[in-house]
Structure 1
Amino acid sequence: MEQLQLGKIKLTWLNGGVTHLDGGAMFGVVPKPLWTRKYAVNDKNQIECRTDPILVEVDDKKFLIETGIGNGKLTDKQKRNFGVTEESKVEESLQQLGLTPADIDAVLMTHLHFDHACGLTKPDGDGYVSVFPNATIFTSNIEWDEMRNPNIRSKATYWEINWRGIEEQVETFEKEIEIYPGIRMVHTGGHSDGHAIVIFESEGEMAIHLSDILPTHAHQNVLWVMAYDDYPMTSIAEKQKWLPFAAENNAWLTFYHDAVNRAIKWDKDGNVVEELKRES
């Protein structure tokens, strides 16, 4: 498991499963001859998209960013449509670190689309129960409202099976919230109306988790946004804000979906300063 140390904060990438999504959807209006120079594609026009949560350890606290695609929740049709070749092994990853889901103090959900939120619950009899029973689950109030009341478009990704059973654990915020000293969530919108990012700061070091505002390193160009984005112009504006901010602060940018990089640093001209590769 790849790790990144930021002062007192340690990040560890867990195995949350893998999907293969349509490259055209992942890169929107960008012509295929351009994006295929940046990211590998298979013969079905799909790109590999990891769904790997990040374990965050600081002092005696343990947080999780996103939750993977879960286990035993996707139908065979969904697995085929989303190109799922491996379901989540988050619990096994935690076990390797001497932890269990009950040890997680909080789960930071940038948004609640199925590929981020399926790992929140698991089947239990005729219903679903929380995977992380002792955790506070943080998300924006906009996201939580849409999760439970999706519209005609968003109901394809906001699923009741991913929120039933965790209602009492959820804590929402409007614009920004400090989860713990040095760790905060900031609402951005863009990919979804309630989308948020996570910023880490410790002992002069910084990392920013832009989640689906920057799903892979190949989305570095501010104009390269997904067809999945509900508000693409907001996604562009947020990238225009946070990518220069990261460069100015020598900050790492961390990834949930990237099959190549776990984290990367770019300078103000977009050149790679440092990168943490995913081990195959």
Structure 2
Amino acid sequence: MLRSEAYLRAILEHSADAIVTTDEAGNVAEWNPAAEHLFGWKREEILGKPAEGIWEEPEERRKLLRLIEKKGRVIDYETRVKSRDGRSIDVSVTMSQLRDESGKLLGTIGISKDIRRRKRLERELKRLAITDSLTGLYNRAHFNERVVEEVERAKRMKHPLSMALADLDGFKEYNDSQGHQAGDGALRKVGRAALTTLRRHVDLAFRYGGDEFVFIFPEVELEAGRTAAERLRARVEQEVGPAITSSIGVATMKDGMSSRELVRAADLAMYRAKAAGGNRVHS
């Protein structure tokens, strides 16, 4: 028995993963050195305290306990806990019930792996997958997904939705005469103009392809959409004019309009702006 206890103590002491056991009441009964390192609390500080205290959302732990009651064990449950200083920590938790030889519930044992590095990498890969590397705006593939989502959301919430489609006037000539590096520099400036002009965390800006850009204005009627597009047109002219300007078409979703029809309406408005001489907003 003593050798067995010493063996288990050695596992707790030398495990690279945080191991936490709780008693039947949900209070911390064991807390190994890896748990001290991950969560920040010393063993003597946390023993006897409710284990819910280390979870960012206590309901997540209760949800996990309900799963364990059904399955006996849950493997690699990804969630967030919090450190002693309040930092959020992404972890993968494997947890099971502890029972004695008679089957009486004694508590739980949880093994937590720190997955912050993996989560950061996943977030960065996701960002790269939806971002145009030249301009920093969202890319065409992400637009194809988001436009459908935004149209459906606007219909569900009965909110207005406007869109602007911009084409750069004179870009081809500028690119041919000044070279691709200069052309790329102009596109980057247009991207910065969009990011600094539109409503942050509300409006959505995409590089549609080549020298075309598209912007989604949630909860915006046509006139407000035209105003936003005019601000953008003026900023583009300020950044890359007079050699390059922008023709922008604005459309607002009408009853029953699909995402494809909304794009088509903005596209037609953009061509009307081009036909009228460019460097203007049309709807």
TM-score (norm 2): 0.21
Q: Relative to total residues, which structure has the larger helix share, 1 or 2?
A: 2
TM-score (norm 1): 0.21
